[in-house]
Amino acid sequence: MIRQRVSNPPASLVILGITVVAWLLQSMNPIESLRLMALWPVATPELIRFSDAGVLETGFAPWQLLTYGFLHGGLGHLFFNMFALYMFGLPIEQAWGTKRFVIFYLVCIVGAGLVQLLTAAVSGEIYPTIGASGGVFGLLLAFGMMYPNQRIMLLIPPVPIKAKWFVIGYGALTLFFGVTGTMAGVAHFAHLGGMLFGLALILYWGRQDYRQRYR
């Protein structure tokens, strides 16, 4: 068995730390953080009335496809995403190595952002998107595929469940919420986008590994 190279400290913990720092900085200047770093729809007007901040000059910028994944809507939002990053990210990084793990996480973040831009274009709604959930859903999918029978303990309710059933159930529930419009304000299709891009990358890598092994 080939041992994969894992950085010290692991990249999953480094990403966790960067995200926490980003949230602290966001808390110091939330309006400016959302204006510049959140993911805005492509069709966002240059001037938009946003909450109590009045009229803001904002809009879509390419870097937002990455930076939105380091902002969060509150402490609870941050905690659950970072708990999942710690819980699923560490074993995945140990199995894949740091380079492949980082590429996978960032691809899921960007992929989720692209799906969210498409969703916003179809709906015509203008609102910013923030959160690492796209990357987290990608990691959840990867964990379920790598360790399908591994039992994980849910937080709410606190019961054990096999990873494969958790991934299937959570994905189906997210799809249902997205189609029905349940839990408005949550980017359900972006979460599924993270899973979709994660699956595509896993299949691509699997094909590459197979060719290298048997050529």
**How does pLDDT run across 123-153, given as a tens digit for each residue?**
888 888 999 999 999 999 999 999 988 887 7
Classify residue 78: in a domain, yes or no. Answer: yes
pLDDT of residue 51: 60
φ/ψ region of 82 (left if φ > 0, alpha if ψ in -120 to 50, else beta) reads alpha
pLDDT of residue 1: 39
Classify residue 136: in a domain, yes or no. Answer: yes
Instruction: State how far the Cα of 171 lies from the Cα of 191, in Å rounded to an integer.
Output: 9
Domain ranges, residue 191: 11-214
Cα 171 versus chain centre, distance: 13
Classify residue 3: in a domain, yes or no. Answer: no
Q: Which run of H or of E encompasses 168?
A: helix 163-180
Name the pTM for this structure.
Answer: 0.88
Classify residue 5: in a domain, yes or no. Answer: no
Contact status, residue 55 vs residue 47, Cβ threshold 8 Å: yes
Q: Which residues of the chain have pLDDT under 70?
A: 1-4, 46-56, 154-157, 176-185, 210-211, 214-215
H-type alpha helices, 29-157: 30-37, 64-67, 75-96, 98-123, 133-146
Classify residue 20: in a domain, yes or no. Answer: yes
pLDDT of residue 186: 74
Instruction: State how far the Cα of 199 lies from the Cα of 9, in Å rounded to an integer.
Output: 27
pLDDT of residue 2: 45
pLDDT of residue 152: 79
Task: Look up the CATH number of the domain holding residue 16.
Answer: 1.20.1540.10
Contact status, residue 115 vs residue 133, Cβ threshold 8 Å: no
Residues 6+ apart with CB under 8 A from 70: 18, 19, 22, 23, 37, 132
Q: Which tokens go with 22?
A: 């980003």
Classify residue 142: in a domain, yes or no. Answer: yes
Q: Which tokens go with 42?
A: 């492509």
Contact status, residue 112 vs residue 162, Cβ threshold 8 Å: no
